[in-house]
Amino acid sequence: KQEVTQIPAALSVPEGENLVLNCSFTDSAIYNLQWFRQDPGKGLTSLLLIQSSQREQTSGRLNASLDKSSGRSTLYIAASQPGDSATYLCAVRLETSYDKVIFGPGTSLSVIP
């Protein structure tokens, strides 16, 4: 059974710092991995999607990497801003059931001005 974990559960950093969020999954048979952002009381906003054949994706200050064989992904946020404060979730889409997505528990990020 696929399990997705995220470390750390919570992170607090001063503004301007670069940071890395981690996501691990137990079964490497995935189609893709997606990173989401969730603001309190709101829905999820897609940030980046990495296909299983890719190693990384970039969007602005965000860079996501994928090491499928080791079951790991990282989300790198450069020059963090207070507006980056949110919960970040990763999710994997399974090969065995391509319409099923398994979510991690999320990392709660606070960027202190």
| Residue whose CB is less far from other proteins, 14 or 41 | 41
Show the tokens assigned to 71. Answer: 């079951």
56-73 b/e (C-beta count within 10 Å ≥ 16 → b): ebeeeebbbbbebeebeb
Give the C-alpha separation, 63 to 100, whole Å.
Answer: 24
Residue span 33-72 as binding mask against other proteins, x where in contact by CB under 8 A, dash where not = -x-x----xxxxxx--x-xx--------------------
The conformation of residue 83, written as its DSSP 8-state character, comes to G
* Residue 14 contacts other proteins per CB under 8 A: no
**What residue ranges bind other proteins (CB under 8 A)?**
31-32, 34, 36, 41-46, 49, 51-52, 89, 91, 93, 95, 98-101, 103-106
